[in-house]
């Protein structure tokens, strides 16, 4: 695990640069306040694609805990099969439980490398998969949307 920390201002700068403002119903709440209030409940994951020195493509599955800004590298593979991804997510769930992390939401895109079974594994751990909160790729291209359509979260467990 890399243990890389990302400052909240980094998220704010990216969102601001891309023209993503807080939703109108949260106009009195800044992004910083929103992220801070929901940080303990949020995880985000994605694949990072890289090419090794010998030209081989590798896919790195990483998760960030918003509360601590800790990045967990779940693994790397040249061929992210459904079985490999599911095992990585199961390992993540066990690690989070061991660490006392009580995440309730995992934000991710709809990448085809994420198998449908992932929703079930997360649900069994009490984590809601946020893939459906993101706009469709076609919507992003048509409307220039960036980031997630974030639902209203309650701080109650």
pTM of the full structure: 0.63
User: Where do the domains of the chain lie?
Assistant: 8-143
What would the pLDDT profile of 15-73 be if each residue is shown by its tens digit?
777 777 765 555 566 767 766 777 788 899 999 999 999 999 999 999 999 888 899 99
CATH 2.60.40 for domain 8-143, yes or no, is no
Rounded to the nearest angstrom, the gap between the alpha carbon of residue 119 and the centroid of all alpha carbons in its chain is: 13
Write the DSSP string, 85-148: HHHHHHHHHHHHHHHT----EEE----TTS-THHHHHHHHTT-EE-GGGSPPHHHHHHH---S-
**What tokens were used for 78?**
């040249």
What would the pLDDT profile of 85-102 be if each residue is shown by its tens digit?
999 999 999 999 998 888
What would the pLDDT profile of 57-84 be if each residue is shown by its tens digit?
999 999 999 888 899 999 999 999 999 9
């Amino acid at each position: 695990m890399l243990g890389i920390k990302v400052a909240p201002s980094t998220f704010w700068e990216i969102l601001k640069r891309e023209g993503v403002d807080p939703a109108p119903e949260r106009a009195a709440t800044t992004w910083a306040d929103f992220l801070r209030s929901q940080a303990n409940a949020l995880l985000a994951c994605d694949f990072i694609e890289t090419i090794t020195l010998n030209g081989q493509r590798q896919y790195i599955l990483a998760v960030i805990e918003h509360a601590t800004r800790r990045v967990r590298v779940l693994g790397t593979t040249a061929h992210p099969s459904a079985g490999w991804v599911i095992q990585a997510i199961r390992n993540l769930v066990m690690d989070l439980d061991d660490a006392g992390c009580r995440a309730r939401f995992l934000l991710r895109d709809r990448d085809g490398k994420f198998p449908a079974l992932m929703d079930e594994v997360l649900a069994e751990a009490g984590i809601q998969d946020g893939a459906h909160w993101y706009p469709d790729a076609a919507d992003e291209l048509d409307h220039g949307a960036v980031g997630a359509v974030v639902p209203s979260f309650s701080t109650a467990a």
